[in-house]
Structure 1
Amino acid sequence: MVATPVKTEKRLTIQTANLSDDITAIRSLDWDRDRFDIEFGLQNGTTYNSYLIRGEKIALVDTSHAKFRQLYIDTLTGLIDPTQIDYLIISHTEPDHSGLVQDILQLAPQITVVAAKVAIQFLEGFVHQPFKREIVKNGDRLDLGNGHVLEFINAPNLHWPDTIFSYDHGSGILFTCDAFGMHYCSDHLYDEDLKAIEEDYYFYYECLMAPNARSVLSAMKRMDTLGEINLVANGHGPLLKYNLNELLRRYRHWSTEQSKGEKTVAVFYVSDYGYSDRLSQAITKGITKTGVAVEMMDLKSADPQEVRELVGRSEGIILGMPPTQKEITTNLNTILAAIHDKQYIGMFESFGGDDEPIFPLQRKFIDNGLIPAFKPIRLSETPTEAVYQLCEESGTDLGQTLTQDKKVKQRKLQDTDLDKAIGRISGGLYLITAKKGEVSGAMIASWVTQASFDPPGFTVAVAKDRAIESLLHANDTFVLNILEEGNYQPLMKHFLKRFSPGEDRFAGVKTQSAVNGSPILSDALAYLECEVVSRMECSDHWLVYGKVTNGRVSNPEGLTAVHHRKVGNYY
């Protein structure tokens, strides 16, 4: 491997590496980026990966983010004269991968852009210059010569409606753009250290791919028809080589489990309009945390028959307000014609400047018997962290509503000896509080256990559908507030109530700020400030291991409140 780092003050570097004698990776390393896409936090930066394939003809697979413009162009021209490039393959048109398409075309107007039909339509909207194009669909091939025959795999919604994979039959390399990637920036080209990357790999899947689990399985089924896959050349993070089979297996397993949801919510958005895609992803992430299946569909590119079919089998519908354009109006009318009573409806503004009016449209749904899933999410400015958290909590609220009947049935089956025996495991009573940026959260916990002496640490089980879960990833900080026997009822009463999405959990509660920024409950017996070291998935919970960094007892004579249960199949 030949690596050529070029450093700048903003810690943007370029790495080039030979994957074979005639395939080169060009990786744009964004070391300090801490927010991405649906505004989920990044702990380890990210990369934007691009690839150069040299056959008798030459193809460039994807470009880079616009922030890398000069670095990327300098690196590319150092590798090849751009006028020698025959094809520019666009895996999808999201700006972090296609942000330099216009620059490449200005350097080399002879290039033929190869992409899905929808991608070509999107490119026409922001390239603003004529260009040669070749539209490809599933199974089409492009022969570059010298054994490099590229076969294209249709992979819509992973995580963009125009996504295609490209499989090189000569090398066995599969170029997948967003799929099978992760936001993880390091000098390591490949996935040598599975332990170091696996949490970021899952977190990326959970945020971007889980909402489209059925689409993941469809794409992987098409992958099964290809030849042997020796390497996955993704669009973000290290390439999959050393743990390839295991990491592909995990995607298949996660997607299979996610698709088993007994109920489905349809999420409609417009991928290239305003903040529609990001806001819809945040809502969708909240829904999937509850085990409800989600299918996302782009109103601009979806076939009306597919829209009608999806609406017909969905218990809930989420609609990002589309622009007032004719091609959108057709599918909007299709949704209105296909709805039926007792479905849930949730709506949000896309903040694109030409949104359909939200309240008259909501009234049409309600008049047809639909039930509001949450208050319409309205925007007056660019979405903030708090807005994205509101979207996620709104999705979680809808998912919990849809699964409530199932949970009630489970509770009725509480008279088995096993349930009664598990219920005899007692625990203390605690309140977890956390704050990250402008977003804060809290939850009552009883499954807390000391786990280490040096450094002092403990584990806490957090249900996957808890709003605070998104604030408890590696390197996040929080406070464990220990409640006092005989003095915990007011806090318990406050935090046991159901909070509306976006509602301030700490209104009316006396707090002070910890060193790590999280709220300390003034009426707690003691508190521990903690840093998340790791998380382990345990079915319907995350087991979070936290390292204690600070703490204090307010009443040395006080005892920890104890929680006793009769059965073990619910709290």
Structure 2
Amino acid sequence: MLNKLEIAPNAYWVGYVDDRKVPFHRLILEKGTTYNSYFLDTEKPTLIDTVDIEFGKVFVENLSQIIDPMKLAYIVINHVEPDHAGALPALISKAKNAKIVTTALGAEELKNMFRLHNREFVIIKDGDTLDIGGKTLQFFETPYLHTEETMVTYCVEDKILYPCDQFSSHVATYELFNDLAKEDISPDFNVYYQLIMHPHRPYVQDMLQKISGLDIQMIAPSHGYILRTEVEKYIKAYDEMSKPKGDKKAAILFSTMTGNTTKVAKLIAEGLEEKGIEFRIINVDNADQETIKEAILESDALFLGSSTRYADMVGKLEDVLKELRNMDLSEKLAIAFGSYGWSGEAIQVIQDYLMTSGMKVVDSSLLIKSTGMTHIQLPLRIKFAPADEGVDQCVEVGKVIGDLLIA
């Protein structure tokens, strides 16, 4: 069983090849996978990521043949899911001097997952560097690729990017390097992107911007082949697959009592505008039916909102919602929103109407399942006028829906 492979001077693959049919994210990986971990044998010995929790014991045994875990200075955790950080509990009990390097959110999750509250963490932010004695590591936060705490690590001297799940492929291979593969790896590379990264494609573009200034000669991901040839080809593939496609439009339709819902609508529009989405804001109480119908039919996303009065909607919004049932809107996104002073029942009533409209209703459940986002709450409920966090929340909703439209 392979347990060590040099990828650069004093840099080694020390992962695990799982050549079974592997259950993974509600899928079966027919070709298996690799759990890639990397050891940098420097003055301050450093490990980058671990392996799946199932193989923690054998991983630590293999690593202990290469270095005494007590000598590890740092353990970098790019991503806290069990297929990357799963061996950390088995390792950390032996690597008593090692500091854990990760993002602030990553640290909190690791502390709670593995009861590491008494361990020392090095918290990184975008662009931070760490001197490990003979090599310099630079870190970049890449949230939602594919969970919120994710980061990537770049070794300045080796010109190697360690991007965790990004640029991965699910293939069990003992060759490990893409130029040694017995067949073209592009299909597996592309399938991995579509299944794991594509739901988060706006953040792929953010990541590519962050690494654009780096001299990357090798990409060493957490699954599958290490890309030591044609690196630019694979970066370009991520760029092409994640670029926005087509011009999209949105309509924000609402009724209001005191103007608070108008403010919510305008803030949503700010988020849409930031993403380059063309939009129309329409107070349905002041618009004729033809204008409203035209806006509905020409839009790719519909926001429908109302203030709450006596546990119900106000104005003419309900008439609009009833008319939706008579239209073919199956290809459109629908989002409920509103402001309220007490319990805000109108917003949920709107949601109920949308669920029978034939549209794809975007709510918190859909966002979690499709993107992993937990910080957005939909339907959007704003108490009284939006202020402080409420302002940010409204704008962020517009941006998130904009991302869904342009993906």
TM-score, normalization: structure 2? 0.64
Closer, same or farther: CA 309–362 of 1 in aligned 2, 3 Å: farther
1:315 matched to 2:301: yes
Match of 1:344 among 331, 334, 339: 334
Match of 2:350 among 367, 384, 387: 367
Match of 1:181 among 156, 168, 182: 168
Q: Tell me, in whole angstroms, the C-alpha distance in 2 between the residues paired with 1:210 and 1:136.
A: 26
1:71 matched to 2:54: no
Match of 1:133 among 91, 112, 121: 121
1:245 matched to 2:232: yes
- Counterpart residue number, 1:120: 107
Counterparts of 1:61-460 in structure 2 under 5 Å? 61-129=48-116, 130-146=118-134, 148-192=135-179, 193=181, 195-226=183-214, 228-256=215-243, 259-263=244-248, 309=271, 315=301, 344-345=334-335, 364-367=347-350, 371-372=354-355, 373=359
Q: Tell me, in whole angstroms, the C-alpha distance in 2 between the residues paired with 1:249 and 1:167.
A: 18
Q: CA deviation at 1:55?
A: 1.8
Q: CA deviation at 1:92?
A: 0.8
Listed as ranges, the gaps of 5+ residues in structure 1 are 6-13, 266-304, 318-340, 347-359, 380-390, 393-571
Q: Verify the 8 A CA contact 1:30 1:47 in the aligned structure 2.
A: yes
Q: Verify the 8 A CA contact 1:191 1:243 in the aligned structure 2.
A: no
Q: Verify the 8 A CA contact 1:232 1:244 in the aligned structure 2.
A: yes
Q: Tell me, in whole angstroms, the C-alpha distance in 2 between the residues paired with 1:67 and 1:103.
A: 11
Q: Verify the 8 A CA contact 1:164 1:176 in the aligned structure 2.
A: yes
SS of the counterpart of 1:177? Answer: coil
SS of the counterpart of 2:93? Answer: helix
1:49 matched to 2:36: yes
- Counterpart residue number, 2:13: 25
Q: CA deviation at 1:41?
A: 3.6
Structure 2 letter corresponding to 1:76: L
SS of the counterpart of 1:107? Answer: coil
Greater relative contact order (CA < 8 Å, ≥ 6 in sequence): 2
Q: Verify the 8 A CA contact 2:334 2:362 in the aligned structure 1.
A: no
Q: How many residues align?
A: 288
Cα root mean square deviation, aligned: 3.4
Runs of 4+ with deviation above 6 angstroms: 310-314, 360-363
Q: CA deviation at 1:15?
A: 3.4
Closer, same or farther: CA 104–371 of 1 in aligned 2, 3 Å: same
Write 1 or 2 for the structure with the bigger share of helix: 2
Closer, same or farther: CA 83–40 of 1 in aligned 2, 3 Å: same
1:59 matched to 2:42: no
Listed as ranges, the gaps of 5+ residues in structure 2 are 251-266, 278-299, 304-320, 325-332, 337-342, 371-407
Write 1 or 2 for the structure with the bigger share of strand: 1
Structure 1 letter corresponding to 2:192: Y
Match of 2:24 among 3, 11, 36: 36
Closer, same or farther: CA 178–261 of 1 in aligned 2, 3 Å: farther
